[in-house]
Structure 1
């Protein structure tokens, strides 16, 4: 089993959370840096999306959504490849959580390049407490 570097763990988690923010979601240039050219998503809705579809969808968003995340776990798959799993929900104005999901992302880093998300999946789940 590969030992996870705490610095890389924190970096991958920070990059994942960066994708939740409206400023990043509206920046096509930043999204192109973060999403690998072969990126694919299996959305919480059950739909499958290409990188181009996700770039178009995210850059069109106008409203800030507060995403609550918890239970992050990172596993090394191979050198320079991590599987990130966690739970998320959207925090409403009254503080309640809606849209509970199990999430997973595969992050990779090729030699001489920055970390990029290659795959993401959201699966609806039972409500959980924050």
Structure 2
């Protein structure tokens, strides 16, 4: 299953949807997007399971403006993709902080559609937006 441009943009959009507070506070939407076997290795180095992430995200109350760029998508197997990109938090003055390299593994599930199975954030050197 090769991805066409529309499918690539869909995965980028789903990834970025997870950055927004509205989605992060919507447990039902998060359960749609995060595979039941989801795991995360956070930017802090801590590991999380799906339930821990659902609890943490739904408790958030402050919107963070995420600058996400340099997306690359690689097919790992039929219906399984690796999405990599860089992100940072945009401050009120326009500056960026908490620069990270990010990667997510997305799998296509027949009933649920695309779901994130794994995510990792690693601190990185600063970059320009």
Scaled to the shorter chain, the TM-score interval is over 0.9
- Give how far 1:111 is off: 2.3
TM-score by length of 2: 0.97
Aligned to 1:21: 20
Question: Please, which runs of 5 or more residues in structure 2 have no aligned partner?
Answer: none
Q: Quote the Cα distance in structure 2 between the aligned partners of 1:69 and 1:113.
A: 25
Aligned to 1:122: 121
**Contact 1:89 1:98 survives alignment (8 Å):** yes
Q: Quote the Cα distance in structure 2 between the aligned partners of 1:74 and 1:28.
A: 27
1:1-130 equivalent positions in 2, closer than 5 A: 3-130=2-129
**Contact 1:101 1:125 survives alignment (8 Å):** yes
Q: CA RMSD in A?
A: 1.0
Question: Please, which runs of 5 or more residues in structure 1 have no aligned partner?
Answer: none
**DSSP-derived class of the 2:112 partner:** coil
TM-score by length of 1: 0.96
Paired positions, count: 129
